[in-house]
Structure 1
Amino acid sequence: MNKRTRTLIATVTLTGAIAFTGCSNSANEEPASSASQSDNAHAGHGGMDHPMDGGPVPEGMTAATDPEYPVDTEVTLTADHMEGMNGASATVVGAYNTYTYAIDYTPTEGGDPVTDHKWVVQEELEDAGNERLADGTDVKVAADHMEGMNGAIATIAFSTDETVYVVDYEADGMEMTNHKWVVESEMQPDS
């Protein structure tokens, strides 16, 4: 089975599972992801749902001219933003020069605050300008990586100017396409 077919099957399966889960009418039922919520909170994603396809990059992104890992390079991820990500094989689908931020925010729909969410880029922050923003700066997020992120007021925890990448990878039987973002230090050559 080729990669495109596996991606299609995974997407259809996940869509069906989400639709089925959304049909539940019991107010006392706990979300299926709640068990992993505390496990993922340290990784900056707070156990929230992350889309299987990250979609296109924001307008105005500048492609890296000589990235360490060019498009179509096979790499191994060393990041742990998502469950199963650390050690996963990935394919680079984009490399960009920008400032990349870890942020703290409270989702717009309520819920527990998210700390050290990795990552959002300069182009995903409203009125961010072109200069690197200082740690502690409050910003309005224009990214929708996770539910409740778009429109949230966030505080910059820290930042980097490393090349930032969009990758496709598989973890725990699920295929993620256009995952945003992984910085260069969170990748290594595929062995």
Structure 2
Amino acid sequence: MKKNKLIIGMLALITALVLTACGGNEETTPNDDANTGTENANEEGTESKGNMDEEDSNSMEEMDHTGMDHSSSGEVPEGLVEAGNPTYPVGSEATINADHMEGMDGAVATITGAFDTTVYMVSYTPTTGGDPVEDHKWVIHEELEDAGEEPFKSGDEVVLNADHMEGMDGATATIDSAEQTTVYMVSYTDTETDQEVTDHKWVTESELSPVE
């Protein structure tokens, strides 16, 4: 009897120790802590990456804007005729009333060239790829391949021999509109970036007004 009681007592003690050990394992959760830390780190990393992407995007937008340069060498196509009595003579000033690109509208320009020609608004796909350019202002008659004495008409297909923009030279374009007028080459200060733009091509006479 004493032996049986002793055995029963030992079994009870062992059972209690086993239960205590099991309970301790349930309460200790190092893996959970590690997982929580990993999740927090991932969340912080994702948030940080998102902020960096946003900053990079803003930087790219700023670079795209400040990197634009609409100056030219001042050279004009062969055969282009200087205007005999332009409204705005070379060396005079005029206010630009056009928004071909940012920072142009409202700028005070110095006239660096005045020519009588046919000016075209065109649509084309850049030779460098990318989205089609629609209603580009302006290309003049002397900047079109195989341009004869007669002006092209709206709807005509032409090849551009101008490099005002990347991917323009050699591109096939459709004439959107044609107008016989005086066109001007101008220099001005960008109203948004304060960047000096020299010998910009082209502004039409209707897009200029006297400086007030």
Rg: which structure is higher?
Answer: 2
After superposition, residues 35-74 of structure 1 pair within 5 angstroms as 49-74=68-93
C-alpha distance after superposition, 1:26-74 (max 9, x if no partner): xxx779359979xxxxxxxxxx944433531111110000111110111
Aligned length, in residue pairs: 153
State which drifts further: 54-63 or 97-106.
54-63
The whole-number CA distance in structure 2 between the counterparts of 1:89 and 1:170 is 7
- Consecutive unaligned residues in structure 2, runs of 5 or more: 1-55
The whole-number CA distance in structure 1 between the counterparts of 2:125 and 2:69 is 16
1:185 lines up with 2:185 in the alignment: no
The whole-number CA distance in structure 2 between the counterparts of 1:135 and 1:49 is 29
SS at 1:120 equivalent: strand
1:88 lines up with 2:107 in the alignment: yes
Retained in 2: the 8 A contact 1:49–1:147?
no
The answer for the alignment partner of 1:120 in structure 2 is 139
The whole-number CA distance in structure 2 between the counterparts of 1:174 and 1:102 is 26
**Identical counterparts, % of pairs:** 51
1:131 lines up with 2:150 in the alignment: yes
TM, length-normalised to structure 1: 0.74
The whole-number CA distance in structure 2 between the counterparts of 1:170 and 1:184 is 19
Instruction: Give 1 or 2: higher helix fraction.
Output: 2
The whole-number CA distance in structure 2 between the counterparts of 1:73 and 1:64 is 14
Show structure 1 runs of 4+ deviating over 4 A.
Answer: 33-37
Aligned residue identity for 1:133: F
1:176 lines up with 2:204 in the alignment: no
Retained in 2: the 8 A contact 1:54–1:180?
no
Aligned residue identity for 1:148: G
The answer for the alignment partner of 1:155 in structure 2 is 174
Which structure carries more relative contact order (alpha carbon 8 Å, separation 6+)? 1
The whole-number CA distance in structure 1 between the counterparts of 2:178 and 2:64 is 26
C-alpha distance after superposition, 1:116-175 (max 9, x if no partner): 100010110000111111101000000000000000000000011110000001112111
Retained in 2: the 8 A contact 1:98–1:122?
yes
The whole-number CA distance in structure 2 between the counterparts of 1:154 and 1:80 is 21
SS at 2:181 equivalent: coil
SS at 2:60 equivalent: coil
TM, length-normalised to structure 2: 0.67
